[in-house]
Amino acid sequence: MKIAVLKESAPGETRVAATPETIKKLSALGAALWIEEGAGEGAAIPDAAYAEAGAEVVPAAKAVESADLVMGVQAPDVAALSSVKPGAWVAATFDPFVQRERVDAYAKAGLEALALEFMPRITRAQSMDVLSSQSNLAGYKAVLTAADTYGRAFPMMMTAAGTVSAAKVFVMGVGVAGLQAIATAKRLGAQVSATDVRPETAEQIKSLGGKPIFAEGLEAAGEGGYAAELTDEQKAAQAEMVSAHIAKQDIVITTALIPGRAAPRLVSDAQIASMKPGSVIYDLAVAQGGNVEGSVADELVVIHGVSVMGYSNTPAHLPADASALFSRNLFNFLNAFWDEEAGKPVLDEEIGDAIRLTRGGEVVSARLKG
Ligand SMILES: NC(=O)c1ccc[n+]([C@@H]2O[C@H](COP(=O)([O-])OP(=O)(O)OC[C@H]3O[C@@H](n4cnc5c(N)ncnc54)[C@H](O)[C@@H]3O)[C@@H](O)[C@H]2O)c1
């Protein structure tokens, strides 16, 4: 089986879908690895390291020629894949709801698109879950970036010149990114509070040393451990709770997402205005429409004296670790299904049907067909 890895082409994308470690492991399974020159540059992996691990390091056209599988962080443009084997697999993130045209183009080209972000949240797929591995790093980096922008310290300090008080950090949305944000802010010495719409997160917040702040009776658990959209009444109850709490916060990290929908709006302009000047808000959902009114991807906007920021691709700001974890997720996925006789992975229904977007010229994903 020929596996190709291209240099990522999306603006600002620094990650790469294979590292020398996973090249070695995939080669040990019997695959031939072909990697585009310079693919690891953004993640500080030189071509020589890939070659040493056993990959052929070549120009893009040669890498994809007759490939059975192309691995990517973000799915490549279909135009880059014209010489792959008919029906070849492409395993990458596709952002399928937003980039629907790309999915249709993959179908038209007869490719089999495997969307890694559709990996089911089941125990045996945990090690293959790129959303978790990348969100975890994003939660960490969001706190560091906010701390760097904040003009004060995080921990309480008693000094001869007087006391510096601890920063108050409020984390909104306690999934994988939110939990890591709480843990990171605690380690930096902040006083941390957090909220979500899934009640089970209250215990998780406490176990990390944070204080759960929940609107009375508010609960909106959806399918598969994800949140559901709030009703208008629930939104009003949440807004009231946020208004009462946010004015006393120095740093707010928002992470709330609802699968297949725009990110829920959690912080309004009026709520920003109630915060102290110099406070910082990091909107991790900025690329999905944003949790914060007025947030702009990859820009620091000062609104009522509050710095509002958020990278559209936060994991790309930790390229080495993000690539290492992403590529291990990919390896774990291929390895779990590797069929020695076939010399390639053979997917089962539960996972295969969940992640497969296109096959035989058609869009086949149940989630996309609605
Ligand atoms: N393989 C596995 O078993 C596995 C792996 C990772 C995550 N999970 C679970 O999947 C679930 C989703 O995690 P995620 O990090 O992908 O979440 P996510 O990125 O979809 O959303 C982030 C958080 O925002 C919350 N949220 C949504 N709307 C909100 C609102 N209006 N106000 C406040 N918070 C809101 C969500 O409940 C979630 O906790 C969790 O239950 C997590 O434990 C399971």
Q: Is the CB of 256 under 6 A from ligand 1?
A: yes
- Is the Cβ–Cβ distance between 357 and 363 less than 8 Å? yes
303, burial (CB in 10 Å: exposed 0-12, middle 13-18, buried 19+): middle
275 — pLDDT class (breaks 50, 70, 90): very high
Q: Give me the DSSP letters along 175-243.
A: SHHHHHHHHHHHHTT-EEEEE-SSTTHHHHHHHTT-EE---TT---B-GGG-B-PPPHHHHHHHHHHHH
Task: Give the Å distance between the CA of 258 and the centre of ligand 1.
Answer: 8
CA angle 293, 268, 236 (to 5 degrees): 130
pLDDT for the residue numbered 228: 80
**Atom 37 of ligand 1: nearest residue by CA position:** 227
Determine the residue of 257, 266, 271, 284 to mutate for testing ligand 1's pocket, defined as the one with the most ligand atoms within 8 A of the Cβ atom. 257
Which numbered atom of ligand 1 lies nearest the CA of 131?
A: 16
Place of tokens 């560091």: 144
- Domain boundaries defined on the chain: 2-118+319-357, 134-317
Task: Give the Å distance between the CA of 294 and the centre of ligand 1.
Answer: 23
219 — pLDDT class (breaks 50, 70, 90): confident
pLDDT, the chain, mean: 96
Q: Is the pLDDT of residue 221 over 90?
A: no
Q: What is the 3-state secondary structure (H, E, C) of 119-153?
A: CCCCHHHHHHCHHHHHHHHHHHHHHHHHHHHCCCC
Residue-wise pLDDT tens digits, 119-161: 999 999 999 999 999 999 999 999 999 999 999 999 999 999 9
Q: Is 127 a catalytic residue?
A: no
Mean pLDDT on 237-252: 95
Q: Is the pLDDT of residue 33 over 90?
A: yes
Task: Give the Å distance between the CA of 201 and the centre of ligand 1.
Answer: 9
Residue-wise pLDDT tens digits, 279-329: 999 999 999 999 999 999 999 999 999 999 999 999 999 999 999 999 999
Please name the residue ranges forming H helices in the chain.
20-29, 47-53, 60-64, 100-108, 130-149, 176-187, 201-207, 232-246, 269-273, 319-336, 349-355, 366-369
Which homologous superfamily does the CATH classification assign to the domain defined by 2-118+319-357?
A: NAD(P)-binding Rossmann-like Domain (3.40.50.720)
| Buried-exposed string 112-143: b where 16+ CB fall within 10 A, e elsewhere | bbbbbbbbeeeeebeebbbbbbbbbbbbbbbb
pLDDT for the residue numbered 166: 98
Q: Is the CB of 284 under 6 A from ligand 1?
A: no
Contacts (Cβ under 8 Å, ≥6 apart) of 40: 16, 19, 46, 47, 49, 50, 323
Q: Is 15 a catalytic residue?
A: no
Catalytic member of 126, 261, 269, 339: 126
Helix 20-29 with 319-336: angle, nearest 10 deg: 10
Residue 264's nearest CA partner among 241, 296, 232, 240 is: 232
Which numbered atom of ligand 1 lies nearest the CA of 264?
A: 31
Q: Tell me the CA end-to-end span of the chain in Å, nearest whole number.
A: 33
- What is the Cα–Cα distance from 230 to 238, expressed in whole angstroms? 9
Which numbered atom of ligand 1 lies nearest the CA of 259?
A: 20
Residue-wise pLDDT tens digits, 164-207: 999 999 999 999 999 999 999 999 999 999 999 998 999 999 99
Q: Is the pLDDT of residue 217 over 80?
A: no
Q: Is the CB of 202 under 6 A from ligand 1?
A: no
Domains 2-118+319-357 and 134-317 belong to one CATH topology: yes
DSSP β-ladder status, 168-172 and 191-195? parallel
Q: Is the CB of 266 under 6 A from ligand 1?
A: yes
Which numbered atom of ligand 1 lies nearest the CA of 238?
A: 32
Q: Which CATH number fits domain 134-317: 3.90.1530.10, 3.50.30.10, 1.10.10.10, 3.40.50.720?
A: 3.40.50.720
pLDDT for the residue numbered 6: 97
Can you name the residues that pair with 355 across neighbouring β-strands? none
Which numbered atom of ligand 1 lies nearest the CA of 198?
A: 37
pLDDT for the residue numbered 223: 76
Q: Is 238 a catalytic residue?
A: no
pLDDT above 70 as % of the chain = 100
Residue-wise pLDDT tens digits, 45-60: 999 999 999 999 999 9
Q: What token pair was written down for 226?
A: 């994800």
Task: Give the Å distance between the CA of 199 and the centre of ligand 1.
Answer: 12
pLDDT for the residue numbered 106: 98
Q: Is 126 a catalytic residue?
A: yes
Q: Is the CB of 96 under 6 A from ligand 1?
A: no
**Atom 2 of ligand 1: nearest residue by CA position:** 121
Q: Is 282 a catalytic residue?
A: no
